[in-house]
Chains A and B, each alone.
Chain A
Amino acid sequence: EVQLVQSGAEVKKPGDSLKISCMGSGYIFPSYWIGWVRQMPGKGLEWVAIIYPGDSDTRYSPSFQGRVTISADKSIRTAYLQWSSLKASDTALYYCARLDNSGYRFDQWGQGTLVIVSS
């Protein structure tokens, strides 16, 4: 069974750094693109970035480029999303999600990581 298990909720202050994680199991982790999707409170879904763990190739949404960094460690089947300086507007639920073989849609999702940024 394919599973994506994300790290727990985080409460941070503006200006803090943060790295959240997503561990994949039940499939060949290096062979599938995996990414992050943001959902702000009561809002819709926004694609953030994707990475191919096999060679660490990355793609970013223009809306998030420069604000976050996606990475992966294929040896431990884990993808990451990190911020160097959080803002209150980063408060949201962040889902990791795997792209299927076509690369056109997200076929498996993690449970979500809630990030709260507040002074």
Chain B
Amino acid sequence: EVVLTQSPGTLSLSPGERATLSCRASQSVSSNYLAWYQQKPGQAPRLLIYGASTRATGIPDRFSGSGSETDFTLTISRLEPEDFAVYFCQQYGRSPTMYTFGQGTKVDIK
């Protein structure tokens, strides 16, 4: 079973700064199978990035994803006030079917 480890646990930044979030897999993951979600307090998660680097519909271009195999990164180029939230990475595994989430990175206001 693949384990996803996100770091840091909390990232304290100011609006306008760049945020770099890491998601490390315990074994190689196909880029096609890696996604990122944003969750704001009291809200359901929202799909941000899929296929490691493709933005979902309506996601601003300040969000970007990169990486391959065991190391993936979500970057927010310039933090807007609405970007302060928790971010989760997720991978799909087949045989058996499995959807695994990282434990999350909280981006909060410094």
Residues of A near any B CB (own CB < 8 A): 35, 37, 44-47, 50, 59, 61-62, 95, 97, 100, 102-107, 109-112
Contact = CB atoms under 8 A, between A and B. Distances in A.
B104 interface: yes
B97 A50 contact: yes
A99 to B, nearest CB: 9
Contacts of B109: none
A44 B103 contact: yes
Given A105-B50, A105-B92, A47 B101 contact: yes
Contacts of B102: 44
Contacts of A109: 44-46
A105 B44 contact: no
A107 B99 CA distance: 13
Q: Which 6 A-B pairs have the closest CB atoms?
A: A47-B99, A109-B44, A105-B35, A104-B92, A45-B101, A59-B97
B88 interface: yes
B38 to A, nearest CB: 11
B15 to A, nearest CB: 25
Contacts of A61: 98-99
Given A50-B97, A59-B96, A45 B88 contact: yes
Residue with the highest number of chain B CB atoms closer than 10 Å, among A103, A106, A107 = A106
A62 B1 CA distance: 11
B44 A104 contact: no
A4 B13 CA distance: 34
